[in-house]
Amino acid sequence: MVEMESAAENPNYPAVDYKRPSILSFPRRPALRVTSEFDSESAVFFHKISCKLLDSLAKFKFSFNHSGKGGDISEPQFSFVSKHLSLHYDLEDHNALVKTSIDLAPSLQLTASHDLKAQQGEVTVLANLADPAYSLQLSTPLPSVGLPKATFRFPLGELSLQEKQEEEVNNLLSVDGVLKGQLFNGLCSAHYKDEELKLRYGYKDDEISFLPILSLPSNALSFAFKRRFGPSDKLSYWYNCDSNYWSAVYKRTYGKDFKFKAGYDSEIRLGWASLWVSASFFNYVFHTQYH
């Protein structure tokens, strides 16, 4: 008589899974996010529907506007975005904007974009030098109209050289640049572009941030100020000393599901308020404006 050993009695037996195989197995449903925003001044709803695909490797988004009066739908657009390819398509204009990015080498990247309707695009080559903080970028529009724009980035800023074409003057070489560095407890920077120099100084801690900006040669001065009263509420203020225009925004959050904002802009004499409410799969934004 031969006795049969079971797998439970002999640990040398391989474990066997007796679960019934699944005939139909579906991937997990991608999370869907819906955002709706209403502008009471124009009586228009702004809707966005988006979801992440393939474990967040790609993202799909569809957006459109909906009139609250006549119910007309306008500006429908959809986009597909991934790491190396993105497509934005306008259903009304029947136009598409295609962007692609390819790593030619570990420190060399090629980026290209093309507008199908305008038949225009741009090609950019970015080379990271020995130190990651140093890089050289060459970009040119398509069709090409001159020398490519060269941008050199380094730890303290960047420098750009671009050929500038004018009718009465031969081609000139324009220079733009940014220089930044630590000063006291803040960051000081100088931005030069189109023969205008902007000097900025930014200070920020856990409660206060302050940013004055001086433009030369116009001597226009403005500053931005932010004050955090606690982990859930913050006040932002901006003032232009040359025009006396100002704007203020107050923001308050209630946990992770509610956000409230209210603000006023003196230049256009417009006040506004918005409420953001989040649910498990849907996000709604109600936006109201008043004079």
**Strand extents, DSSP E, 120-257:** 120-128, 135-142, 149-154, 157-164, 172-183, 186-193, 196-204, 208-216, 220-228, 233-240, 246-254
What per-residue confidence (pLDDT) applies to 2? 34
What per-residue confidence (pLDDT) applies to 106? 87
What per-residue confidence (pLDDT) applies to 4? 37
What per-residue confidence (pLDDT) applies to 53? 82
pLDDT, tens only, 204-251: 998 999 999 999 999 999 999 999 998 899 999 999 998 999 999 999
Q: Give 235-244's long-range contacts (Cβ < 8 A, gap of 24+).
A: 242/218, 243/267
Q: Identify the residue with better confidence: 118 or 256.
A: 118
What per-residue confidence (pLDDT) applies to 19? 46
pTM given for the model: 0.69
Q: Identify the residue with better confidence: 99 or 57.
A: 99
Average pLDDT of span 158-181: 84
Q: How far is CA 127 from each of CA 134, 260, 280, rounded to the nearest angstrom?
A: 9, 43, 43
What per-residue confidence (pLDDT) applies to 22? 45
How many whole angstroms separate alpha carbon 186 and alpha carbon 199? Answer: 13
pLDDT, tens only, 135-159: 999 999 988 878 899 999 999 999 9
Query: Whole-angstrom distance between the N-terminal and C-terminal Cα of the chain?
Result: 97
Average pLDDT of span 186-199: 94
Residues in the chain: 291
What per-residue confidence (pLDDT) applies to 288? 47
How many whole angstroms separate alpha carbon 73 and alpha carbon 60? Answer: 20
CA atoms within 13 A on the CB side of 60: 7
pLDDT beyond 70 at 112: yes
pLDDT, tens only, 55-82: 778 899 999 998 867 678 889 999 999 9
* Band (99; pLDDT cuts 50, 70, 90): very high
pLDDT beyond 50 at 264: yes
* Band (275; pLDDT cuts 50, 70, 90): confident
What per-residue confidence (pLDDT) applies to 11? 44
Average pLDDT of span 87-96: 93
**CA angle 274-59-287, nearest 5°?**
10
**DSSP string for 225-273:** EEEE-SSSEEEEEEEETTT--EEEEEEEEETTTEEEEEEEETTTTEEEE
How many whole angstroms separate alpha carbon 207 and alpha carbon 223? Answer: 17
How many whole angstroms separate alpha carbon 67 and alpha carbon 54? Answer: 34
Q: Are 38 and 288 in contact (CB under 8 A)?
A: yes
What per-residue confidence (pLDDT) applies to 272? 85
What per-residue confidence (pLDDT) applies to 57? 83
pLDDT, tens only, 6-58: 334 444 444 444 444 444 444 555 567 887 777 777 778 888 888 888 777 88
123 pairs with which residues across the strands?
112, 140
How many whole angstroms separate alpha carbon 30 and alpha carbon 37? Answer: 23
Taking the domains of the chain in order of start, what are their residue ranges? 32-88, 94-176, 205-291
Measured in whole angstroms, the distance separating CA 157 from the mean position of its chain's CA atoms is: 21
How many whole angstroms separate alpha carbon 138 and alpha carbon 161? Answer: 10
How many whole angstroms separate alpha carbon 235 and alpha carbon 192? Answer: 30
Q: Identify the residue with better confidence: 1 or 183.
A: 183
What per-residue confidence (pLDDT) applies to 40? 72
Going by C-beta distance under 8 Å and a sequence separation of 6 or more, which residues neighbour residue 68? 38, 43, 44, 45
